Amino acid sequence: MTSSIDVEGLSLSFPLYHGNARSLKKTVLSTVTGRMASDNRNRVVVEALRDVNLALRPGDRLALVGGNGAGKTTLLRAMAGIYEPVAGRVRVLGSLNALVDPHLGMNPELTGRENIMLRGMYLGLDKKAIEGLAEDVAAFAELTDFLDLPVRIYSSGMIVRLGFALATSVQPQVLLMDEWFLAGDAGFMEKARVRLENLVRGVEILVLSSHVTDVVLQWCTRALWMDQGRVRADGPPAEVLSAYLGHPVQLSDWAQQRMATTGSDPGEAG
Amino acid sequence: MDGSSHLQPSENVVLDLAADQSWGERNRAAWRDVCDGLAQWRLVWTLAWLDIRLKYRGSVLGPFWLTLSTGAMVAAMGILYAVLFRLELRDYIPYLGLSLVLWGFVGALVSDACGAFTTNQGMIRSVRMPFTLYAARIVVRNLIILGHNAVVVVVANLVLWTWPPAGVAWLALPGLVLWLAVSLSLALLLGALCARLHDIPPIVANVMQMAFFLSAVIWKPEQLDDRQWMLALNPFFCLLEVVRGPLFGTPPSLLVVGCALGYSAVLFAITWLVFARVRGRIAFWL
Ligand SMILES: Nc1ncnc2c1ncn2[C@@H]1O[C@H](COP(=O)(O)OP(=O)(O)OP(=O)(O)O)[C@@H](O)[C@H]1O
Ligand SMILES: [Mg+2]
């Protein structure tokens, strides 16, 4: 099956049920302009996405850029089927992996191995594949003896390694990735970077929310500037990014050097 | 990728989600949710077991602590009430043990059902899964606990050497099947309602406390004499009786069975209407 993502006229709004609706509306409307509205049943809602249109085919690598609260994470969740449209339509074909939640639903009370097993089952892997997953994750995260201890007692570095290894150990056709995943990019271990680039190279469609200029320019073939839930601009990464940042952008020297030495960029679909 | 390229999500997702669904589409989506959720029984089972293992991790007796406390309660209450109400101990204690163990399941299930979705919000917001999965997890978890508590009933019967006639005990099986369906339905309904309306859990807790006293758990229906028919008005009693009666050697009357089926049918209908209507909204409420 060839993968695809089609988003047509998608709007999403979060109803706010907490507290007194009328006073809430007053305070909210006076502080935030434009985002709050009341729907046809007179409830206060946050309009997180408004009339978003988008079509992606194999080979497309899309970057979502925009300020805080622009709706990037919400759009990723809608494409993962977590939020169902309030208006419009979302169609996604192909195997899908969404890395939107930093904890990836890990339960700190469970051991590393149990978390790996659960993740495998959520992904619909069979027993043998889950064993493979456990081996792969354990080897990458270098947890050895800790694998059978509760995640609660791991050091924060170990938790990051486990979460990262888990998230990058399956190869979907459609990968949706939120920015937390690339956070601390500069200090990222070389080993982790190689693993992530391999994963990205293997997927057919990538949607990535990121503010890191290097990542967007290097990995993406298209960028979408989100503003207050709407699409403000859609086009080549360099153009959209310069419009968003308000100044011309280019790859940093460091990234250029790196590309020259490794001789490849993960933006090219394999 | 390095040594792991063989790992691929096994199922191909075909997501087609649209707003303004007709009732037909909503019904189909709700039905698919139920089927997909039950098809994941392996995951449901694992999650339920992990819930129990987690709760008792590091404890020597594990879930049998619950068995012990139920047993102590049965012994203490049984002797006290037998004296107070001048009841035959050998008759009353096995009855009370059975009733308390079964009611323990009902009570825990209903209170867990209120958190069916709210306690899983992390998972619900990070991966698309059928909501039925979370409801089934609660049912299975409480079934496992019920299995542990059943020891109390066996021990009570062993100690007093009072066994119910085996001939009718098997009649409890259809009752248990009905319980499974009712439990799943309750978990879906209460889970969805409680996610939206935060006033529901305290109301439910109050109702359950009242139901405990009104449903002939610690007393016997015979004690109502010729007003026993009034018990048929109580859905909790009817549903309790279809499992308890046969196990105690007193099969329920046709009236009670009919009422149990009727109340269940009403519950299923309400659950279906609510669930089909709000399924797509639950993630927004958490
Ligand atoms: N569960 C929720 N309930 C109510 N409002 C929400 C919820 N989730 C998101 N929102 C609102 O939707 C809007 C978009 O949020 P979103 O998380 O998608 O932004 P973002 O672009 O990812 O921002 P950031 O760069 O800070 O991560 C925000 O105004 C936010 O307040
Ligand atoms: Mg975000």
| Domain end position, chosen among A113, A139, A171 | A171
> Which is nearest to A103 in space by CA: A3, A180, A196, A214?
A180
Listed range (B152-156, B202-206, B267-271) with the worst mean pLDDT: B152-156
Amino acid A78: pLDDT: 95
Percent of chain B with pLDDT over 70: 95
Amino acid B168: pLDDT: 82
pLDDT band at B5 (very low <50, low <70, confident <90, very high): very low
CA distance B5 to A134: 14
Report whether pLDDT(A221) > 50: yes
Residue A268 lies in a domain: no
Report whether pLDDT(A90) > 90: yes
Amino acid B254: pLDDT: 93
Query: What's the CATH number where A194 sits?
Result: 3.40.50.300
Count of positions (residues) in chain A: 270
Nearest CA to ligand 1 atom 5: A14
**ipTM of this model?**
0.84
**Judgement on whether residues A188 and A73 belong to the same structural domain of the protein:** yes
Q: How many domains does chain A have?
A: 2
Q: How many CB atoms lie within 10 A of CB A17?
A: 14
CA distance A223 to A202: 20
- Per-residue model confidence as pLDDT tens digits over A164-198: 888 888 888 999 988 776 664 445 567 777 888 88
DSSP assignments along B49-118, one per residue: HHHHHHHTTT-SSTTHHHHHHHHHHHHHHHHHHHHHTT--HHHHHHHHHHHHHHHHHHHHHHHHHTTTTG
Listed range (A35-39, A195-199, B9-13) with the worst mean pLDDT: B9-13
Interface touch A84/B13, C-beta < 8 Å? no
Q: Do B103 and B14 form a contact (C-beta atoms < 8 A)?
A: no
**Judgement on whether residues A91 and A176 belong to the same structural domain of the protein:** yes
Residue A269 lies in a domain: no
**Judgement on whether residues A44 and A120 belong to the same structural domain of the protein:** no
Residues of A in contact with B54 (CB under 8 A): 107, 109-110
**Judgement on whether residues A189 and A256 belong to the same structural domain of the protein:** yes
Q: Which domain holds residue A236?
A: 4-95+172-262
- Per-residue model confidence as pLDDT tens digits over B185-239: 999 999 999 999 888 999 999 999 999 999 989 898 888 888 888 888 999 999 9
Amino acid A123: pLDDT: 81
Residues of A in contact with B10 (CB under 8 A): 123-126, 129
The pair of structure tokens assigned to B133 is 């999965």
CA distance A265 to A197: 8
Distances (CA, A) of A101 to A180, B139, B248, B274: 8, 27, 50, 29
* Residue B253 DSSP code: P
Contacts of A20 (CB under 8 A, 6+ apart): none
Amino acid A269: pLDDT: 45
pLDDT band at B2 (very low <50, low <70, confident <90, very high): very low
Residue A270 lies in a domain: no
Residues of A in contact with B281 (CB under 8 A): 84
Segment A191-220 mean pLDDT: 86
**Judgement on whether residues A239 and A193 belong to the same structural domain of the protein:** yes
- Per-residue model confidence as pLDDT tens digits over A70-81: 999 999 999 999
Distances (CA, A) of B252 to B92, B105, B107, B217, B259: 18, 20, 21, 15, 11
| Domain end position, chosen among A114, A144, A171 | A171
**Judgement on whether residues A131 and A84 belong to the same structural domain of the protein:** no
**Judgement on whether residues A239 and A134 belong to the same structural domain of the protein:** no
**Judgement on whether residues A122 and A244 belong to the same structural domain of the protein:** no
Interface touch B284/A14, C-beta < 8 Å? yes
Residue A267 lies in a domain: no
**Judgement on whether residues A84 and A184 belong to the same structural domain of the protein:** yes
Amino acid A166: pLDDT: 84
pLDDT band at A22 (very low <50, low <70, confident <90, very high): low
Amino acid B233: pLDDT: 93
Amino acid B111: pLDDT: 95
Q: For A97, which of B9, B19, B20 is closest by C-beta distance?
A: B9
Residue A246 lies in a domain: yes
CA distance A262 to A96: 28
Report whether pLDDT(A35) > 80: no
Which residues make beta-bridge pairs with A209? A64
Amino acid A253: pLDDT: 73
Amino acid A183: pLDDT: 61
Interface touch B126/A98, C-beta < 8 Å? yes
Test mutation, B6, B17, B129, chain A, max A CBs within 10 A: B17
CA distance B8 to B18: 27
| Domain end position, chosen among A150, A171, A192 | A171
**Judgement on whether residues A69 and A194 belong to the same structural domain of the protein:** yes
* Residue A111 DSSP code: B
**Judgement on whether residues A54 and A181 belong to the same structural domain of the protein:** yes
Report whether pLDDT(A65) > 90: yes
**Judgement on whether residues A113 and A30 belong to the same structural domain of the protein:** no
CA distance B25 to A89: 14
The pair of structure tokens assigned to A10 is 């998608």
What 3-state DSSP class applies to B247? helix
Q: Does ligand 1 have an atom closer than 6 angstroms to the CB of A70?
A: yes
